[in-house]
Amino acid sequence: MAKFKDYYQVLGVPPRSHSRIISETYWERAHELHGVPTRKGQQRLSILNEAYEILGSPHKREAYDRRFRLNEQEQLPEQQPGLFQLVTRLITKPFRPD
């Protein structure tokens, strides 16, 4: 499975940013990178373009946000169940005399 790209981090904006902020940030960063003749600068510009292609379109951004939230949930460490969860599990289990 390919590594998930965080396009919000690429643009440097928070995930709840308004589309106007995303657009303004993209154009600022693209203008900065446009004059960089190095290979690394061109690669950064292509990644920036890819991020804006996804986040600049409302439909693509909505689909991306769904995957973004799923990816964030997978990144969270599993928490140990607390006392309340353990008691709830014991109470809700069916009784089976052995």
Q: Tens digits of per-residue pLDDT, 45-84?
A: 999 999 999 999 999 999 999 888 888 777 655 566 677 7
- On whether residue 97 sits in a domain, the answer given is no
The contacts found for 36-44 with CB under 8 angstroms, 24 or more apart, are none
Taking the CA atoms of 20, 46, 67 and 82 in sequence, report the sign of the dihedral they define: negative
- On whether residue 72 sits in a domain, the answer given is yes
CATH classification at residue 45: 1.10.287.110
Per the structure, the complete domain to which residue 67 belongs is given by 7-92
Domain count, the chain: 1
- On whether residue 56 sits in a domain, the answer given is yes
Q: Which two tokens stand for residue 41?
A: 């600068």
- On whether residue 46 sits in a domain, the answer given is yes
For the residues 9-28, what does the mean pLDDT come to?
Answer: 93
pLDDT at 1 over 50: no
